[in-house]
Chain A
């Protein structure tokens, strides 16, 4: 957003950064915060150098949701605050195995969700982004 527009409307957007987290592989932030909501980037299971971590859908789903949990925590929210998740699987035959890990790490009552089959990077089995509600009452801890 151009600085002038941001100024004219006050601070409308905070960027969430995490020390030691895998860096975005493109021109985007890991998370942004606006209007009481946190929007995460699509995350895949990678180490800080961008190398794909884990060969199973279970390991990759767990890693991705751990990253999302860390992004939300930095913005002052938790997995219980997720409103919506969008999930891309490289192969929908992995649907039930990814569901098992997802159900373990995303608490009830479960957020709205959309899952589709997509072409992902080499070795990447799952990519997830979420929208979470942090509310206006909690000033953000994002820096």
Chain B
């Protein structure tokens, strides 16, 4: 199979017909992910910092499935509902990524599928085949 997909059982289930992870060759794509804490099934907080921090924790868990980490990320796409959440999102983001800062795009959208989610992110990573 040329495109492999993975949906780790230790994360919140996808809310539509998609996988959390798709991999083709060394290219890995993670789906749009809201800040849901897999332990409770609820958003990790009502603020953008808590939600962003949870999203990046979920990303680490997803990347671990393909034996990768945040240092292999090449691009992150961030979708905010409110531009005012740029700063708290950045704070959580910088804490998670540390010294490796991939290319990034941040935009504001009109709405998100997950109720009360303030942001969602997806990413692209390159891993060993």
Binding site for B on A (CB under 8 A): 36-37, 80-86, 91-92, 95, 99, 102-103, 106, 109-119, 131, 133, 135
Contact = CB atoms under 8 A, between A and B. Distances in A.
Given A84-B29, A114-B77, 19 more contacts: A36-B24, A36-B25, A81-B3, A82-B22, A83-B24, A95-B113, A102-B17, A103-B17, A109-B5, A111-B3, A112-B21, A114-B122, A116-B111, A116-B113, A117-B109, A131-B29, A133-B3, A133-B25, A133-B27
B89 to A, nearest CB: 15
Interface string B11-30: 00000111111111101011
B8 to A, nearest CB: 13
Interface residues on B, range: 20 to 34
B110 interface: yes
11 contacts: A81-B2, A83-B3, A102-B16, A102-B17, A110-B18, A113-B16, A113-B32, A115-B16, A116-B120, A133-B3, A135-B25
Contacts of B122: 84, 86, 112, 114
B22 A84 contact: yes
Given A37-B27, A114-B122, A92 B111 contact: yes
B72 to A, nearest CB: 16
Nearest to A91: B111
Contacts of B4: 109
Contacts of A99: 16-17
Given A36-B25, A119-B110, A114 B3 contact: no
Contacts of A133: 2-3, 24-25, 27
Contacts of A84: 22, 29, 122, 124
A69 to B, nearest CB: 15
A82 B27 CA distance: 12
B5 A117 contact: no
A111 B1 CA distance: 13
- Most chain B CB within 10 A, of A36, A110, A112, is at A112
B29 to A, nearest CB: 4
B49 interface: no
Contact of A106 (B2, B17, B20, B27): B17
Contact of A112 (B30, B79, B120): B30
A48 B86 CA distance: 40
A117 B80 CA distance: 11
Interface centre among A80, A86, A116, A135 (most CB of B within 10 A): A116
B50 interface: no
